[in-house]
Amino acid sequence: MDQFVQIRRDLHQIPELGFKEFKTQAYLLDYLQMLPLERIQIRKWETGLFVKVNGTNPTKMIGYRADMDGLPIKEETRLPFKSIHETNMHACGHDFHMSIALGVLTHFVHYPIKDDLLFIFQPAEEAPGGAEPMLKSDVMKEWWPDMIMALHIAPEYPVGSIALKEGLLFANTSELFIDFKGKGGHAAHPHLTNDMTVAACTLVTQLQSIVSRNVDPLDSAVITVGKITSGTVQNIISEHARLEGTIRTFSVELMQHLQRRILDMVKGIEVGFQCEATVDFGALYIEVYNHEILTREFIDFVEQETEVKVIACKEAMTGEDFGFMVREIPGFMFWLGVESDYGLHHAKLLPNEEAIGVAIKMISKYISYKGS
């Protein structure tokens, strides 16, 4: 497995944002060109890839998806193979996801099974979302899988374990961008201005009341404003402000309700602060809902045929555009334990690389069972 640990390290050095994964795509292609090409078919899609591994006597196709993009985070790990792109980092484990997928793919190139396999290297999972348009591509329509699976690293679980559940696993998520335009001016004359810093901060406070006062206490939702941009210097009242955040729910209906309440509150801010405001809900990801029968079969297989520990987990407010794929194709996603002290999207995330070999062996064994 050392080869795939090194691949992970190579990929870790070149994190790229959504639909800009040019170096990543080139690296994957260079590796694939070293495999016996008579056994595989490769198709490009944007900055992603479809790789079909031909079965010996196929009756179905099994899909496996790995995401490719990094995050706009400055890495703080001090690893010898840290990111060479100063403002980007693989802080969500997509370098792990790709190296594991290559390991499984390589196994089946050399040890073919009866059924066809489709490996989907998907760009732009973090934003703006690559799964939904990839599903609509001509390649996908030609190579439509009968089932599909994927994993996501989990810093909170130990190496040698996976975590999953039947049904709802990940939440519906929506981005949130709100821009304010008022009237700036000198700090000494606030009465001649419409201060957008105050307007934005007022809305941030009001947004916190939506979950506590407009959502059933037995339901779950999150509204987080993660970034506020406003003003230029300390003695000028700001004319513009921008909020950036996220909304997360366990139902589509609640997501729509929260979005309506946000729009209502923004209208109130416009009236109260005599300003203009625009709301953009950005990328919307639907829930990841694991197919009950396939998930239970996978759990039973892992428990009975491997040494990997299966942990029953609860649904999480995590967002994943793999939800679009399992809406159309029966499948499931699971957490892969990588035991890091720092969590996902943290600048010091340090996943344990021993998990790469664990995942390659377990997934290869399961796919052999499903496709033989």
Catalytic residue among 69, 125, 126, 132: 126
Helices (H), the chain: 2-12, 22-32, 94-110, 131-135, 138-142, 196-214, 252-273, 292-305, 322-328, 354-371
Same-domain pairing of 161 and 293? yes
Domain CATH for 9: 3.40.630.10
Same-domain pairing of 220 and 321? no
Under 8 Å between Cβ of 61 and 367 = no
Boundary residue ending a domain (284, 315, 340)? 284
Same-domain pairing of 263 and 294? no
Same-domain pairing of 183 and 55? no
126 is catalytic: yes
Boundary residue ending a domain (234, 256, 284)? 284
Under 8 Å between Cβ of 337 and 154 = yes
Domain housing 242: 172-284
Query: Residues near 170 by Cβ (< 8 Å), separated by ≥ 6?
Result: 287, 288, 315, 316, 317, 318, 319, 320, 322, 323, 333
231: Cα separation from own chain's centroid:
32
Same-domain pairing of 240 and 342? no
What pLDDT score does 305 carry? 97
Token pair for residue 9?
């390290």
* 134: amino acid identity, one letter: M
Catalytic residue among 67, 95, 125, 353: 67
Same-domain pairing of 6 and 147? yes
Beta strands (DSSP E) in 55-113 are 61-67
Same-domain pairing of 243 and 352? no
Same-domain pairing of 343 and 251? no
Same-domain pairing of 150 and 25? yes
Q: CA 358, CA 337: separation in Å to the nearest integer?
A: 10
Same-domain pairing of 137 and 59? yes
Structurally, how many domains does the chain consist of?
Answer: 2
CB-count exposure of residue 217 (10 Å: 0-12, 13-18, 19+) = exposed
Same-domain pairing of 272 and 321? no
Domain CATH for 214: 3.30.70.360
- Digit-by-digit pLDDT tens for the chain (372 residues) are 899 999 999 999 999 999 999 999 999 999 999 999 999 999 999 999 999 999 999 999 999 999 999 999 999 999 999 999 999 999 999 999 999 999 999 999 999 999 999 999 999 999 999 999 999 999 999 999 999 999 999 999 999 999 999 999 999 999 999 999 999 999 999 999 999 999 999 999 999 999 999 999 999 999 999 999 999 999 999 999 999 999 999 999 999 999 999 999 999 999 999 999 999 999 999 999 999 999 999 999 999 999 999 999 999 999 999 999 999 999 999 999 999 999 999 999 999 999 999 999 999 999 999 998
Boundary residue ending a domain (284, 310, 325)? 284
